[in-house]
Structure 1
């Protein structure tokens, strides 16, 4: 007969509790636990096996957005027929200085902001040449958001259709709603049983649509920088100290590949101050800062460098003439003052 003492039973109970706790935490982690704890009857402690170190993201506020978005009509037509729902816009605050460059900006930072992966952002900038004008990306994001919203209303219409027992949903045109929505029920039912006579496919579909819409709604494009180049900072904004994500200095892709030629052409024709700043700050990196038409034709480059040299010499010459004239004027005034004082003394 095997004899089991009390210490062995206590050790076995402890291992069983540890096993159940580990299984529960593994199952609850994908649903947001411990950040989303449901009804807090007992304050949670820190005895979780996956506790991680705190990061700057943990201290950021959440961005509260509504889905579907609120209606904001801007003219009488939109008042009568409704406006087009738009995703949330994240404003950029650009600033220029000699330390951070001319393309630096920051955005207000939130915990639930979403960004493209670095590899996809690099693909858009290098392969598709989308690095400065983001209107096409914003238009695509708005169109995708409208499609998600349209599908959301399709799911609502399918759910509402199930409450009318006199309507056969499997005939035209209601059959299209069945084709667009009920496929998720078949997939989920094959993986999870029906609970209490109710399928969980439609709630799962609502969750997926809401998560995807939230991702599109909080998506931020960071061109010409990569999303990983953002720096966590604090600044005084709208009368309050707020968390911001700053993108400054030379973009990594400009150093890795090259600055787009249309940007360099814009500097050369319209913004000579930016061109001179880039040559002074990053000229030692052997980057292509001048436009391709100057680099590919050495004669044009010599002409440009000669003109810059003449401008620099002209500026120094003007400074020399101005300083010399000031010295002559001061000497003259001093001499006249001294002579006047001498004559006054003799007359007296």
Structure 2
């Protein structure tokens, strides 16, 4: 099986190559199938679709544009499998894939704690202002004025989405001594048993000091955080998003920063991130005035979609992706198959 790997960085190539080689050595390939991996730094889109000629499968990441037109072209080129290296699949037209007979797999559980811990890191950074303190000390400034934080113990934390990552986040915040409120269409009895409380979205908005987003992006969650939902929140609320960028309406979040409705904003994702994230843009002018404006606020911390980026997660992503590709001809129902 010939596989074209898109949005591939050096660390992706290292881990994927290592796990493909491991499977080959251990003889784990189904029906003696072998993988021939070709790596492309380019994202998959209509502009790069010509690269898939001669391949049986493609492997994609969060910012590849796998829309209906791309999927139709994949089918025409003979591609029968899409192996996502991520849990989210909002960038893939699953209806089109099913219509074209292309199987789609994802990595539903690569390392929930890695993203949950990064959400906590953003909370701690914003609260104790370590990002500002670091630069002060480097400049010989040891003044504490402007660095005042608050104790997390006793604070009310709202978690929207309690899947694997959200559940891991809730457990961590309970460890801090926080009151944890949750919202999910499918409440977790395990979290309830641990002392978490499920409420309506409006109740969660009204009561939370900190709100962390751990839900998928779909029609119902698009711009979940906007002027309407923000109006229901406490003044000075902390918003954390390590899920998908379009959960937060960036311009309306900026407006809320100006009005001090949002007191702290921590983002590991951004709605227009596909134009800038995962690339070295240090010598370029970023052509996004909303993003540039957001970076000027001292109470905003943005990281470049690195929440998942741990050694454990990368290895699990590679292992599961290789496993998905080796199962692509298995006619039995497969838990990681989306279409």
> What TM-score do the two structures reach when normalised by structure 2?
0.19
Which one has a larger percent strand, Structure 1 or Structure 2? 2
Larger Rg: 1
Higher helix proportion, which one? 1
Return the structure number with greater relative CO, CA threshold 8 A, min gap 6: 2
